[in-house]
Amino acid sequence: MGRLGFSTTESARLLLLSVFGVLLLSVVLAEQEGENLSGLSNNPDKAIFAVRENGTTCLMVEFAVKFLVPYDVLALNGIDLITEQASFTLPRGAEIEGKCGSTESEIHISWKNNAYVLRIYFSKEFRDKGIEVWKISKVQFVYDTSETSIFLNAYNPGKHTASTHRLSALVTPAGRSFVCTAQQTLTLISSDHQKGVTVSMYDIQIQPFDITSDFIFSEPYKCITDQRERLEETLPLVLGLILGLIIIITLTVYHFHLKLTANQPQLPRDRSMYKNM
């Protein structure tokens, strides 16, 4: 009986290990990986990142990003603190991680051995009239003021996290990519005494859901700022064409008027000449 009990216990353990192995294998097979495609861009400031699941692109981000981060330094008197501003951009050689889901996705971009980490979270939702959209629902930025290549003479240096609150940015119809040349600016509140960190994105094309072709964005949805700028560029041209057309029509009518009046008999202006008629 003892040998039978031992055998049954071992069999149960083997069964559990087998189930665990299958689950682990399924996780590995569904593993999501990040790819840096920035070398494909001719713009030295623009980065291109993709998250892939099972060899298929599920999230793509193409943009240039600039950070403006306030931090404290000790004044010359050695007592007071003054605030400096560190300005830097997102490097093209950053490392990528991400997760894709049907209603929630995210991308993590890190550099300088995780001294800096930019996390962007996306979500889907239904709005009025049942229209499905996606948006950026949260942005976090981790930075280390002990990183002396950016933060010079920082007081009490260390890591801080800046986050948005109740964010709803870049709202885009589902199945389309967001496109915007104009700058889009977000303000994050830092754990460093509630300082405001500015994250500015421009030359943007983003799609976190419903990518149907590998490494190819879906139909673009242009931001309102770009639409307005395009209208401002084309409006003078349209008005010029309308004005030119009005001038041409006016000259044409005047020309025909002259021809018609030239063919009509001229009545004498001197009333005395009527007697001879």
Per residue in 253-272, pLDDT tens?
Answer: 776 767 777 666 655 555 55
pLDDT above 90 (res 27):
no
Q: Is the residue at 18 inside a domain? A: no
Question: 101 with 233, same domain?
Answer: no
Asked whether the beta carbons of 143 and 162 are under 8 A apart, the reply is yes
Q: Is the residue at 114 inside a domain? A: yes
pLDDT above 90 (res 187):
yes
Question: 237 with 159, same domain?
Answer: no
Sign, CA dihedral 141-143-149-152, equals: positive
Distances (CA, A) of 117 to 3, 110, 131, 148, 179: 56, 4, 33, 16, 24
Q: Is the residue at 135 inside a domain? A: yes
Question: 55 with 187, same domain?
Answer: yes
Average pLDDT for residues 246-250, to the nearest whole number?
Answer: 80
Which domain covers residue 236, as residue numbers? 224-256
Question: 198 with 250, same domain?
Answer: no
Asked whether the beta carbons of 65 and 220 are under 8 A apart, the reply is no
Domain CATH for 95: 2.40.160.110
Record the pTM: 0.73
Residue 106 buriedness (CB in 10 A; 0-12 / 13-18 / 19+): buried
Q: Is the residue at 15 inside a domain? A: no
Q: What pLDDT, in 10s, does the model give residues 209-222? A: 999 999 999 999 99
99: left (phi over 0), alpha (psi -120 to 50) or beta: beta
Q: If pLDDT is split at 50, 70 and 90, which confidence band does 60 have?
A: very high
Specify the higher pLDDT residue, 182 or 230.
182
**Domain count of the chain?**
2
Q: How far apart are CA 128 and CA 12, in angstroms?
A: 53
Which backbone phi and psi does 147 adopt, to 5 degrees? Answer: -80, 95
Question: 153 with 241, same domain?
Answer: no
pLDDT reported for residue 136: 98
> Which range, of 29-33, 54-58, 171-175, 201-205, averages the lowest pLDDT?
29-33
pLDDT reported for residue 248: 82
